[in-house]
């Protein structure tokens, strides 16, 4: 009886937390399928009339596909570069005999704690010096530096869990450190690499502040900035913003659902627990 009441309490608490977390998103999805008069109606209407006018308006009146292309390019390149560098750094920190590993990991962790606003000025000046404002590389470079601590911590923690005997056997057989990483460590660490890749991609896809700071020209805007700067003739176009936000969220939902097993496996294997 005690176990049943404990399970019911746990399920109810979980259901309430999940409902509160996803309610704003569900409300926006509902708004995207409403008509103009339903959005401003009092009392509010939750169940929409499933009208597609806002999706048609978003596609025909705004450059939503241009923003999606820019976000895919920036987030994709950021993920590839970050995971490549994080793999090398994570392998070195987890598998090589280095002095001061804990100190290095602490510095990497501390570097991720700086608020974005405190480094925005220096980064803008550096990008301006190199002429990289309103360039894809001008946004990819800050994203790589911001996501490297996350990638290194996840992969170093995952590599550290692998049996050392496997690496030692490969070294005895004549493999170099790079060969050990590419042929043995990386294939065994696919859940951790998937986890790090997805988290980095989601960060780069959703990031708003630096995208607004660096990409001031419309043709380079990413999806979050493009949606935030939607302009109506007389009022804020909430219907189009809701439709565009729903479109922006769909790739992330598909990504998480498609790689759900790898994410759970990576997290449960201790990738981010330590």
DSSP notation for 98-152: -TTHHHHHHHHHHHTTS-HHHHHHHHHHHHHHTT-TTSHHHHHHHHHHHHHHHHH
Q: What does each of the 274 residues of the chain score in pLDDT, given as a tens digit?
A: 667 788 888 889 989 998 888 888 888 888 889 888 888 788 888 888 888 888 988 888 888 889 999 999 999 999 999 999 999 998 888 888 878 888 888 888 888 788 888 888 889 999 999 999 999 999 999 999 999 998 998 888 888 888 878 878 888 888 888 888 888 888 888 888 888 898 899 899 989 999 999 988 888 999 999 888 887 666 778 888 889 888 888 878 887 888 777 777 666 655 444 4
Residues in CB range of 147: below 8 A, 6 or more apart: 78, 82, 200, 203, 204
Q: What letter would DSSP give residue 33?
A: T
Q: What letter would DSSP give residue 183?
A: I
Decide: residue 9, CB within 10 A, 0-12 exposed, 13-18 middle, 19+ buried.
exposed
pLDDT at position 232, please?
Answer: 62
pLDDT at position 4, please?
Answer: 79
The HSE-up count of residue 104 (CA atoms within 13 Å, CB side) is 13
Check: pTM over 0.75? Answer yes or no.
Answer: yes
pLDDT at position 271, please?
Answer: 44
The answer to whether the beta carbons of residues 32 and 242 sit under 8 Å apart is yes
Q: How far apart are CA 219 and CA 103, in angstroms?
A: 43
* Cα angle: 48, vertex 50, 54; to 5 degrees: 100
pLDDT at position 268, please?
Answer: 63
Q: Tell me the residue length of the chain.
A: 274
Q: How far apart are CA 146 and CA 203, in angstroms?
A: 9
């Amino acid at each position: 009886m005690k176990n049943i009441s404990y399970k019911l309490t746990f399920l109810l608490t979980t259901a309430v937390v999940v409902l509160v977390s996803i309610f704003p998103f569900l409300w926006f999805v509902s708004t995207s399928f409403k008509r103009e008069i339903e959005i401003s109606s009092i009392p509010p209407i939750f169940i929409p009339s499933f009208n597609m006018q806002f999706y048609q308006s978003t596609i025909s009146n705004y450059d939503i596909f241009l923003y999606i292309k820019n976000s895919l390019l920036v987030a994709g390149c950021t993920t590839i570069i970050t995971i490549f560098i994080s793999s090398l750094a994570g392998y070195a920190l987890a598998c090589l005999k280095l002095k001061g590993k804990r100190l290095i990991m602490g510095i990497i962790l501390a570097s991720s704690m700086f608020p974005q606003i405190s480094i925005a000025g220096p980064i803008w000046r550096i990008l301006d010096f190199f002429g990289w404002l309103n360039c894809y590389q001008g946004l990819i470079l800050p994203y790589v530096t911001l996501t490297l601590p996350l990638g290194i911590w996840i992969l170093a923690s995952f590599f550290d869990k692998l049996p050392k005997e496997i690496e030692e056997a490969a070294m005895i057989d004549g493999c170099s450190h790079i060969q050990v990483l590419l042929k043995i460590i990386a294939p065994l660490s696919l859940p951790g690499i998937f986890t790090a890749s997805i988290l980095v991609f989601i960060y780069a896809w959703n990031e708003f502040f630096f995208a607004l700071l660096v990409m001031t020209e419309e043709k380079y805007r990413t999806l979050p900035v493009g949606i935030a700067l939607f302009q109506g003739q007389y009022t804020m176009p909430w219907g189009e913003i809701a439709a565009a936000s729903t479109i922006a969220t769909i790739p992330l939902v598909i990504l998480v659902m498609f790689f759900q097993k790898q994410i759970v496996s990576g997290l449960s294997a201790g990738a981010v627990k330590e």
